[in-house]
């Protein structure tokens, strides 16, 4: 077997950090990235094996769904060691149904990055279909909209709510892609095999599409923000100034149900949704939501500031993006969370890398292509890294003025840089000041 080289690991990090969302926020795989030449095949194989873990515990996810009252589908556990739910506190554990939408999101991102249809045909599509079934059973139509009740989003200071914005968007994405993949299976002549495996029907697919199209997404016209859920804006705001600087997490000194009654966030929730699903809202709404939630977020989770860094970069605020990144990158060096003695924050390490790739390089992977919109912080002279997109190995080099993209193999790539379309065959140089 060929020895893995540094470029394998660099590409593996890139793929895995998309897959981090599949288990966000409990299991992240972090590997140091280096810059050199090598083949991507090994890294893609490792990433596929990580996704294969979810397929290995799919039957336990089905059993978990039945225990929670769902007659069909698969509900992956929030915490697990062997596939069974290990979370002891339902409001901030099992109620986080968004885990299944996160898993589906990670599968779709893997497919868009690698183009690995073989994986989708063997495992991915089955998971996407089974998780879509949960959403359709969990929600209901009311006054022309599809609502999802009594769930918890990423913010664990706001639990068991109706229509969590992030959760509803992950559900919409999951349901939408279930239909898209079903149609692709039909075109490829692979549908009968899928039907034989899980008994999916045309009627179910129509239901998925109707629910996705009618998904209720909270929006406040006056504030031009997406409320975190139906009741969030009606709650009293927590007095953030009253929290001592080095007091530790709010949950360590306050009864959880007391915290639940306030507008206060442990971590990025709606702001995370604006990162993963940025095309769902106007830029003004994303900006206003960022400003609103920034004032009421404690960042008691180490996974929060990296997301705020990414959105600050998207909004063009280099100073704030770097401040969040800088804090995130030094959490264990400075023992900022006061718990490094219990173990390093490996998930935060992944988030720090994401802040570079998604924030300062502005990378987005979408159905219609790959997008780059670099924003270099003043503290840096440049960024240079290697990634692989759809089999095209490329080197990205960004300084204060120039974004240079070099193709390292013989597979051309279409991509967008600073909003303009390019066809990469050898090397392109983009002046970011034009």
Which residues are catalytic, by number? 156
Listed residue (387, 431, 391) closest to 410, CA to CA: 391
Cβ atoms within 10 Å of 104's Cβ, excluding its own: 30
Q: Which residue has the tokens 């960024």?
A: 383
Residue 164 makes CB contacts below 8 A (sequence gap 6+) with 98, 148, 151, 152, 153, 158, 228, 229, 269
Q: Can you read off the two tokens belonging to residue 384?
A: 């240079």
| Distance, CA of 189 to CA of 186 (rounded, Å) | 5
| Distance, CA of 36 to CA of 363 (rounded, Å) | 20
The β-bridge partners of 405 are 396, 428
Cβ atoms within 10 Å of 296's Cβ, excluding its own: 16
DSSP 242: G
3-state class (DSSP) for residue 141: strand
- Give Cα 383 distance to the centre of its chain: 23
Q: Can you read off the two tokens belonging to residue 341?
A: 């003695």
């Amino acid at each position: 077997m060929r020895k893995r080289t540094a470029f394998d690991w660099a590409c593996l990090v890139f793929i895995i950090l998309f897959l981090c969302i599949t288990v966000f926020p409990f299991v992240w795989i972090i590997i140091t990235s280096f810059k050199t030449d090598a083949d991507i095949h090994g890294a893609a194989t490792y990433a596929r094996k990580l996704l294969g873990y979810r397929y290995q515990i799919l039957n336990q996810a089905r059993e978990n769904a039945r225990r929670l009252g769902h007659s069909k589908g698969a509900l992956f556990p929030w915490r697990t060691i062997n596939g069974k739910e290990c979370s002891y506190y339902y409001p901030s554990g099992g109620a986080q149904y968004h885990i299944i939408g996160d898993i589906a999101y990670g599968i779709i991102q893997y497919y868009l990055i690698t183009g690995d249809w073989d994986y989708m045909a063997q495992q991915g599509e089955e998971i996407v279909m089974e998780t879509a079934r949960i959403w359709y059973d969990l929600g209901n139509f009311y006054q022309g909209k599809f609502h999802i009740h009594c769930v918890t989003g990423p913010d664990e200071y706001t639990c068991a709510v109706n229509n969590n914005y992030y959760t509803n968007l992950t559900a919409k994405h999951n349901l939408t892609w279930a239909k898209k993949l079903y149609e692709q299976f039909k075109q490829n002549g692979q549908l009968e095999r899928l039907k034989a495996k899980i008994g999916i029907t045309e009627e179910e697919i129509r239901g998925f599409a109707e629910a996705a199209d009618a998904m209720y997404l909270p929006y406040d016209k006056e504030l031009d923000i997406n409320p975190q859920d139906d009741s969030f804006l009606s709650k009293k705001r927590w007095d953030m100034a009253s929290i001592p600087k080095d007091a530790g997490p709010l949950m360590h000194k306050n009864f959880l149900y007391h915290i639940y009654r306030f507008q206060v966030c442990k971590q990025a929730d709606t702001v995370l949704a604006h990162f993963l699903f940025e095309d769902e809202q106007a830029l003004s709404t994303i900006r206003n939501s960022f400003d609103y939630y920034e004032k009421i977020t404690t960042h008691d989770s180490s996974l929060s500031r990296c997301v705020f860094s990414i959105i600050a970069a998207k909004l063009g605020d280099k100073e704030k993006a770097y401040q969040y990144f800088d804090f995130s990158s030094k959490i264990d060096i400075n023992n900022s969370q006061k718990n490094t003695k219990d173990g390093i924050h490996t998930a935060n390490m992944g988030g720090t890398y994401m802040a570079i790739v998604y924030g300062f390089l502005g990378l987005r992977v979408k159905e219609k292509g790959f997008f780059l919109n670099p924003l270099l912080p003043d503290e840096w002279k440049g960024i240079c890294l290697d990634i692989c997109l759809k089999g095209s190995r490329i080197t990205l080099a960004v300084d204060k003025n120039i974004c240079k993209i070099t193709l390292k193999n013989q597979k051309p790539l279409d991509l967008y840089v600073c909003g303009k379309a390019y066809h990469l065959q050898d090397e392109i140089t983009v002046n970011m000041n034009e």
